[in-house]
Amino acid sequence: MEDQNTVSLQEELLQYQKEKEKIRNVIGRIGGAASAKRDRVINICFIIFIVILFLMDTMRHLLGMDIPLPPLFSVEIGLLLVSVKIIWMIHKQGKIEHFQFWILSSIEYRVNDMTKKMQHIERSLKKIEESKKD
């Protein structure tokens, strides 16, 4: 009997390790360290472009410098960059929400599975207790 328990516990441990590795891989694809570095680079690029446009427009108006871009072009480009950034952030948030849903669904599945096992064990214990009473 103990050998069966040991074998079943080892199988559950292996299954747990496989699930843990699968989750680690999914997390790595969604938002690991490489993604964080890429996000930081993209954010820095957006900031640099917007600051350059701001400085160019400021030099045009305050210092009277002749800049080859039309006066409203920098505002339009800045608005485009901010819009793209917002769309990108919405996309990233959607991926995060999908991942959270996947995790919660996985937890629910495991809880339901454990509940079924507990009910089966309870039934087995009741049968054993009833047989001892007889």
pLDDT at residue 116 in the model = 92
pLDDT band at 131 (very low <50, low <70, confident <90, very high): confident
Give how far Cα 42 sits from Cα of 11, 53, 82, 91, 104, Å. Answer: 44, 17, 12, 14, 30
Residue 6, classed as helix, strand or coil, is helix
Residue 66, classed as helix, strand or coil, is coil
pLDDT at residue 30 in the model = 59
pLDDT digits (tens, 9 = 90+) for 64-95: 777 777 878 888 888 898 899 899 889 888 88
* DSSP symbol at 65: -
pLDDT band at 118 (very low <50, low <70, confident <90, very high): very high
pLDDT at residue 115 in the model = 92
